Amino acid sequence: MIMAGGQGTRFWPWSTKEKPKQFLPLTKQDETMLEQTYKRFSGQMPVENIYIITTAQYKNLIKDQLGISDEQILIEPAQRDTGPCMAFCARTFLKKQDDEVFAAVPADHYIPDANELLKALKAAEKIACRSNTIVTLGIKPDRPETGYGYIQCGKKEDSVFRAKAFIEKPSYALAKTLYQMDHVFWNSGIFIWKPSTIAYYMEKFQPELWEPFTKDDEHVQKVYKSLPKISVDYAILEKADNIYTISVDLQWNDVGKWSSLEHFYSSSEEENILIGQVTTSDVKNCLVKVDQKHALLIGIQDLIVASTKDGLLICHKSKEHEIKRLLKERDDGT
């Protein structure tokens, strides 16, 4: 199940509500993030076993990019974060009396080694077959990173770890400590479980959220927009006690913000990354993305500059985390 309903606001103005980052060629010029994710699995399994969950406004984008059937696209009634999204998935499968293990996978992650990923998912499937068992994939950190969540694990049991705690995006000091600890991994955001497992934990920990999903389709459609925006991490994972983590040593990147692109584009001697027609003079450590028009940059450093038909962003790299908040305030009229 590829989750492709997010809006990618941290990549504004390249990513917009009309065409969010999963539909953009962020890391490859000729392939969108969604196309890369789909290709990662379509070469390893029957394509009819690959589903996309999104909202109605992105259905045509998905069909244009992937050419898949309507039956493979689940239409979420509204964007309500990954908690309701996974509840919606579980209900959809259980209604069809399908309780097979599935992997929930973000559409916007960079994972070039499909074989290693599939090997880990197959190992996870065996564990997730057990009653009310959740399996996560943990990435071995190669640096202290404040932009990712972490999973702290206990000792290894057979080939997997028992997850002990989920740690949200830490301060740099905490990230350094976590990086030096044993059995601590980046949270990949990939979860492997049965639909009935999701239903069990939703009913146990989020009964008010789950209650509408026990009713008919019309009721679900009617109340979905009023469901709380809550991540599946908060809704289930931080509360459940039967969670295992498989450590995966592969190249992985949660392409979540402008600075993520520094891992994919070659920089100049002045450490600039320039996408589009850009001419510079005395410019250092800048990330620049321009569409259509030519840009001249003179005498600046440490900035993100992005100009598209949808807007202009000029942001100091140290303030990148403010983009999402400011866009929300603009949209809310505050």
- What is the band of 159 on the pLDDT scale with cuts at 50, 70, 90? confident
Task: Tell me the C-alpha distance between 69 and 258, whole Å.
Answer: 33
Same domain, 62 and 200: yes
What range defines the domain where residue 299 resides?
259-332
Task: Tell me the C-alpha distance between 2 and 105, whole Å.
Answer: 5
Same domain, 52 and 198: yes
pLDDT tens digits for 160-179?
999 999 998 899 999 999 99
Domain stop point among 219, 239, 256: 256
Same domain, 314 and 201: no
Same domain, 203 and 275: no
Same domain, 12 and 116: yes
pLDDT for position 268? 86
pLDDT tens digits for 8-48?
899 999 999 999 999 999 998 899 999 999 999 998 899 99
Compute the average pLDDT of residues 83-100: 97
Domain stop point among 229, 256, 283: 256
Task: Give the domain CATH number at 197.
Answer: 3.90.550.10
pLDDT tens digits for 259-316?
999 989 988 889 999 999 999 999 999 999 999 899 999 999 999 999 999 999 999 9
Same domain, 242 and 272: no
Same domain, 274 and 127: no
pLDDT for position 334? 63
Same domain, 252 and 283: no
Same domain, 272 and 217: no
Compute the average pLDDT of residues 111-132: 94
Domain tally, the chain: 2
Domain stop point among 198, 233, 256: 256
Half-sphere exposure in the Cβ direction for 46 (13 Å, CA):
3
Same domain, 129 and 167: yes
- DSSP conformation class of 96: T
Same domain, 318 and 242: no
**Residue 224 CA to its chain's centroid (Å):** 21
Same domain, 327 and 189: no
